[in-house]
Amino acid sequence: MKLRFCESEIPYYAKRFLEYFSNYEAQFELEQELTNKTLVDKVQQQEYLDLNLLKKVAYWKSPRRADRIDLNSESDVKEITHYAFTTQSERVRYGILQLLDGVRLPIASVILQFYHKEPYPIIDVRALWSIGIDKKGNNYPFPFWQKYVAFCRDLAKRNNVDMRTLDRALWQYSRENQ
């Protein structure tokens, strides 16, 4: 994994992302709603998502897959997300969210980024391309996920940016250069 652009340009591409994404008013507003500090604090305090919030997260990441979320029961969503937020095992956290219908690692990574207390990147083909990986699909083995998380955490920390800022930069760089 190697960043395709200078680390010093992370803030620039993150800002360009916001300029671009603000043109998609509904998606932009949904992200603002999902990452509102009051909501994030509430989820982190209760340590689970409800079905309605999971649907919104899934729709934000992948509108095509969001309808599958309705196949889950409210109790399964609460129990599985609670376990994901409270387990100490990265392997379990990686896998358990994917037990939910309609949730694969890309959506699971959004759940973790938006609501877990630890920083997590969103896994996305654009972000991956920006770090030199031409991988399509949503089948990412656990060792790959571990390396990706470690790489992104290190990159964000080294550049004193939060994970959302880094994700925006990675996505935007790909959009403009791929």
Query: What residues does each domain of the chain span?
Result: 7-177
DSSP H helical segments within the chain, as ranges? 10-21, 25-34, 37-46, 51-61, 74-86, 90-96, 105-115, 125-130, 142-158, 163-177
pLDDT for 87-134, tens place per residue?
Answer: 999 999 999 999 999 999 999 999 999 999 999 999 999 999 999 999
Closest-CA residue to 77 (of 60, 56, 52): 52
Q: Contact at 8 Å (CB) between 70 and 55?
A: yes
pLDDT number for residue 65: 76
End-to-end CA distance of the chain: 17
pLDDT for 132-141, tens place per residue?
Answer: 999 777 789 9
What's the pLDDT band for 79 if we cut at 50, 70, 90?
Answer: very high
**Model's pTM, two decimal places?**
0.95
- What DSSP string runs through 20-70? HHTTSHHHHHHHHHHT-HHHHHHHHHHT---HHHHHHHHHHH-TTTGGGGG
| Tokens, residue 2 | 């190697």
pLDDT number for residue 40: 98
What's the pLDDT band for 75 if we cut at 50, 70, 90?
Answer: very high
